[in-house]
Structure 1
Amino acid sequence: MTDFGKAPETKVAPQFVATDYARILVVDDDPILREFAGVYLSSPTIEVEVAEDGRVALERLKQGGIDIALVDLEMPIMDGFELIAAVRAEPSLENLPIVVITGREDMEAIDRAYGTGATSFAIKPLNWRLVSHQLSYVLRNSRADAKQRQGRRLAEQADGLKTNILRLMRHEFNTPFNVILGFGRLIERHSDNAAIQGHARQILMAAEKFRRMHDQLMESARILSGDIEVTKKVFSVADLIKAAAREALRAGGKSTDLKLADRTGNCEITGDYDLLLTALRNLIENAFTHGQAPIHVIGQRTATGRVAIRVCDAGQGMDQTSFALAIQAFKQGHSALHRTEDGLGLGLATAVGSLKAVGGEIHLVSGENVGFGIEMEFPLELD
């Protein structure tokens, strides 16, 4: 039988400290304690229900609507330990706060109850005012945790929706792009009208620019959102520099303005080729767009055994504050609606994201005999 303390001579005012509505289930085989619980815990905002054993309590909990349970550990049919285990096995009840009632010296029972899934405990003989405050505290924390879980679920759903939309856009945009480009080329080739040919060329130029912007946006969104599968491949620093230069030249720029050098001794890397290629290509494109020729791309080993590839130009340069702004997505030192230069403002941010995925980073540097430089540094081998 539960030790419930001395009975009150008269009914006292409700003790439960809570402003929000809550329903408590008190589970105990002692009818007097259940009666006391109703006296001391009920209030205009608190409703108390009772159950005489674990089996009855479990059936009631499965029906829903209970916010917190006060459970005695020693009961017939189904004791408190068995009840807690059964509750935690129910997906809809796995986060229900459960406060157990136990003896003052029974630390073994407290440890076992926590191991089974109890949230807190109350010591016999029960001080109903303290029990009231204990239940209020546990319930408040439980509701705060529930809000955090809901926030995480909503964030995960939003991330999943965003990822699916981006994947759909990458797939579905290819068809209309190809149609526009295909028919534009046909019109340009087969029309005898010079004006129509000129219009076709304008359409092709706009479509190509649109496709490049679309591809960059999709690639950047994938990397910046963390939708990345890192893969390993063996390749040389020299090959990486040459490939990044070729891709950057396709977006604009003169090959005569680009000076490439590999000072690593044809060092080999075991890492994600595509991510490093994206990072370096974006740095070179950024130099073409915002810097001044000549542009030097230099690969070298660092004193710490990593690889550093520096992209330098003869531009004006940038301080650390401006650089910190420039490596953020959609930033060019101006707002997105008041740009003075072409581009999406994603190149440097995407490079940072690509390098971060492979354990690398970007630094602002001053190159030798040049005005401005950015250096990407990364390990020789991906963990």
Structure 2
Amino acid sequence: MSEQAANKWTFVLDDETRLLFVDDDPILAEFAKVHLATPATIIETASNGAEAWERLHKESFDIVLLDVEMPVLDGFGLLEKLRAEPRFAGLPVMMLTGRDDIASIDRAFQLGVNFFAAKPINWRQLSYSVRHVLRTAQMETALRRERKRSDELLKLTNSLLSLISLEAGTPLNDIIGFSDCIRQQIDGPVGESYLKYAAQIDAAARQLQDDFMDLVQSAELSAGSSRLSEDEYPASKILDAVVADISPEWLRLVLVDIHKPTETFDVRCDLMRLARAIGHLAEDVMRGAGHVDLAMSRTPDGGALVTIVATDASQTPPAVCLESRQGMGMAFARCVIELHGGALRSEKRAEGATLIEIFLPSPSARAGNPSFAGTEAA
């Protein structure tokens, strides 16, 4: 046998499939068994829509080939019943008809048919169409399954975040509250060493509380359960908010010079979260630095550039390399800047100096970004 002759008999439907062929023409039904059946494909038949409806409730089929004009229950009636029942909502259905009018085609697709084939039937072509519809339906089923799993995981993540916020927030507040009672000596005088211990406990608890807040917000923003709020703010106001977010202890230990922009321009952002993110980056370079310059300027494309330059480092190498920082503050900062459509760059310079640059897009580029909720962040 020649190669061309061998290819002529190659089976198109090579996956295990149970197909229900519904047509009141018994000769056409026999043709379907002859032309569509393969070692992997079983063809069952029904003579009208009502009979097919009963078989579908008793047996499992992968696809239905359905004639339009039939007694008892026609193809449109069966298709409408199938799509109305959740069990059959995803069952692939192909309609076969001698009609070629637009109304019939429109009605079939409005009712949810997957494919519409005309009679007389080209069986080889129909086999390829059946295979295509089956594979498309399998991909859609897999996508629905993955979407359902993603939705369930998102709900679980949100539930866990809420539970963690509730369970961890209360004891942290208790620690901070009781350490404050000791520092104020509410129940009587305590030794100087205990006052120092209380101050250290308070500082550690507040740091843990801040890290915990960053962890929860980063997770919520990454999962999509929380989004950035959108508004436009003057660049100078953003710098003021950044300074306000930096710990007073750092501002006491490190000289910080603020360089406000020479021109007035606005930045579209979530003010609270962006200020917190930039504040984290500033605090990070303050470790071991004696002087920090914080500036914001307008870029040629209408965006904003925030620069943080740390100099006068001590003999101890400062922990300023962003790539080596894995704390919640850095993860939160990166997450917020990326959701703003921005970019972050860090560079170590001579003698321990460090440069951090934060690029933010123009307000027009921010409009309509799906990361924003359009409401103030809580």
TM-score interval, smaller chain: 0.7 to 0.9
Contact 1:54 1:82 in 2 (8 A): yes
Which runs of no fewer than 5 residues in structure 2 stay unpaired? 1-8, 314-319, 368-378
Query: Does residue 358 of structure 2 align to residue 375 of structure 1?
Result: yes
| Structure-2 separation of matches of 1:181 and 1:151 | 43
Query: Does residue 343 of structure 2 align to residue 362 of structure 1?
Result: yes
Equivalent position SS for 2:91 = coil
Partner residue, 2:5: none
Contact 1:313 1:371 in 2 (8 A): yes
| Structure-2 separation of matches of 1:264 and 1:367 | 27
Query: Does residue 137 of structure 2 align to residue 155 of structure 1?
Result: no
Question: For 1:180-191, what aligned pairs fall within 5 Å after superposition?
Answer: 180-187=175-182, 189=185, 190=188
- Identical residues among aligned pairs (%): 27
Superposed displacement of residue 352, structure 1: 4.0
Superposed displacement of residue 112, structure 1: 4.9
Superposed displacement of residue 154, structure 1: 0.8
Contact 1:40 1:128 in 2 (8 A): yes
Question: For 1:192-203, what aligned pairs fall within 5 Å after superposition?
Answer: 192=190, 197=195, 199-203=197-201
Partner residue, 2:285: 287
TM-score (norm 2): 0.75
Contact 2:245 2:276 in 1 (8 A): no
State the number of aligned residues.
346
Partner residue, 1:9: none
Which deviates more, 202-211 or 54-63?
54-63
Which amino acid in 2 is paired with 1:375?
A: I
Which amino acid in 1 is paired with 2:310?
A: D
Equivalent position SS for 1:173 = helix
Query: Does residue 223 of structure 2 align to residue 225 of structure 1?
Result: yes
| Structure-2 separation of matches of 1:223 and 1:101 | 49
Query: Does residue 71 of structure 2 align to residue 106 of structure 1?
Result: no
Partner residue, 1:174: 169
Which runs of no fewer than 5 residues in structure 1 stay unpaired? 1-12, 317-322, 327-331, 334-340
1:216-270: per-residue Cα shift (whole Å, max 9, x none)?
2112222233333343445432222122123123474546421101114454555
Contact 1:14 1:40 in 2 (8 A): no
Contact 1:191 1:197 in 2 (8 A): no
Partner residue, 1:310: 307
| Structure-1 separation of matches of 2:346 and 2:172 | 39
Contact 1:312 1:373 in 2 (8 A): yes
1:182-222: per-residue Cα shift (whole Å, max 9, x none)?
23333453463566555544443432332222122112222
Superposed displacement of residue 63, structure 1: 5.8
Partner residue, 1:300: 297
Partner residue, 1:353: 335
Contact 2:254 2:290 in 1 (8 A): no
**Match among 52, 73, 92 for residue 47 of structure 2:** 52
Superposed displacement of residue 120, structure 1: 2.5
Partner residue, 1:272: 270
Q: 1:251 to 1:198 in 2, by over 3 A?
A: closer
Superposed displacement of residue 273, structure 1: 1.7
**Match among 222, 244, 248 for residue 246 of structure 2:** 248
1:154-186: per-residue Cα shift (whole Å, max 9, x none)?
122212211222233223322111122223333
Which amino acid in 1 is paired with 2:306?
A: I
Equivalent position SS for 2:19 = strand
Partner residue, 1:26: 21
Q: 1:202 to 1:67 in 2, by over 3 A?
A: same
Contact 1:16 1:42 in 2 (8 A): no
